[in-house]
Structure 1
Amino acid sequence: MTAESTYIVRFSPDSTKEEIDETKSHLTDSGAEIVHEYTLIKAVAVRLPEAQVSALEALPSVEGIEKDQEVKAI
């Protein structure tokens, strides 16, 4: 069984709604689970195996991916 983690997938600022929707469809079709859609930034939180991250980074509408983690203000 493959361990899954949650990642923040940021879309390029110039990505259209159609491009983002297509990428989200690609994510769910490949077995990822979208757990949150952000409204202030073009991004989603997805749960997927680490092995799928590099393929996801190659998609043209994806600007970056980072592991979701707790952030604290000092």
Structure 2
Amino acid sequence: MPTYMIKLKPTATDDDIKAVKDKAVSNGGTITHEYKLIKGFAVEMPEQVTSMSFVEEHPHVEHVELDQTIKI
């Protein structure tokens, strides 16, 4: 299952973060990590989820990125 990193805007409140997490979980996701240095979290999504627009469209989400290995 693919994992996505969700970064929220610095102005996002705890309630905003919870709302985004709840949206991801209600779409079949599992929260795998909560970041402490930035407002954000990692979520593992089922293979059949082909779009993260339900999270990307949230007004407090700054960035959504597929977690992947980068080779140099």
Q: Secondary structure at the match of 1:37?
A: strand
TM-score (norm 2): 0.82
Q: Say if 2:32 and 2:44, in contact at 8 Å, map to a contact too.
A: yes
TM-score (norm 1): 0.80
Q: State the percentage of identical aligned residues.
A: 37
Q: What letter matches 1:55 in structure 2? A: F
Residue of 25, 32, 35 corresponding to 1:35: 32
Hey, what's the Cα distance between the residues in 1 that align with 2:29 and 2:56? 14
For residue 62 of structure 1, what is the aligned residue in structure 2? 61
Matches within 5 A, 1:1-74: 4-48=1-45, 49=47, 50-70=49-69
Q: How far apart are residue 53 of structure 1 and its match?
A: 1.3
Q: How far apart are residue 54 of structure 1 and its match?
A: 2.3
Structure 1 or 2: more helix by fraction: 1
Query: How many residues of Structure 1 are paired with residues of Structure 2 in the alignment?
Result: 70
Gaps of 5+ in 1: none
Gaps of 5+ in 2: none
